[in-house]
Amino acid sequence: MKYDSDMQSLCPAAFSFQVIGGKWNLPLLAVLAGNETIRYNALKRELNGITATTLANTLKELIAHGVVRREAFAEVPLRVEYSLTESGRELVPLIEAIVGWGDRHLGK
């Protein structure tokens, strides 16, 4: 069967890989999974090597997919916290399975 971009919109697996794929999506989701809420600068510190632009874009993408929540508080200075949505928390066992598979097969 030939794969094309039209199939991606119909294929749940392709959508799933779109959400967790990308260089920083999975690491960012893993950090969020380990924290109830976390602020932007703390996320940046946890993700060694990520640029501010890449972090902002990745967060926007994951928010658009409905797996990350951004909560801004009406304070001065502005405080913003990120967390996994219910849908994002459903990904945690998948993330753990992927990490486990990597641990077992890394360096084979």
In DSSP notation, 3-21 reads: --HHHHHH-HHHHHHHHH-
pLDDT of residue 6: 59
* Mean pLDDT score of the chain: 91
Confidence of residue 17 (pLDDT cuts 50, 70, 90): confident
Q: What is the pLDDT of residues 43-55, one digit of tens each?
A: 999 999 999 999 9
- The helix or strand, by DSSP H or E, that contains position 79, with its residue range, turns out to be strand 79-84
CATH code of the domain occupying 17-105 = 1.10.10.10
Q: How far apart are CA 3 and CA 90, in angstroms?
A: 27
Q: Is the pLDDT of residue 7 over 60?
A: no
Instruction: Report the Cα 59 to chain-centroid distance in Å.
Output: 7
Q: What is the pLDDT of residues 54-95, one digit of tens each?
A: 999 999 999 999 999 999 999 999 999 999 999 999 999 999
* Residue recorded with tokens 């690491």: 27
Our CA angle for 21, 26, 30, nearest 5°, is 165
Question: Structure pTM?
Answer: 0.84
Q: What is the DSSP letter of 74?
A: S
Point out which residues pair with 39 in neighbouring strands.
81
pLDDT average, residue stretch 34-39: 96
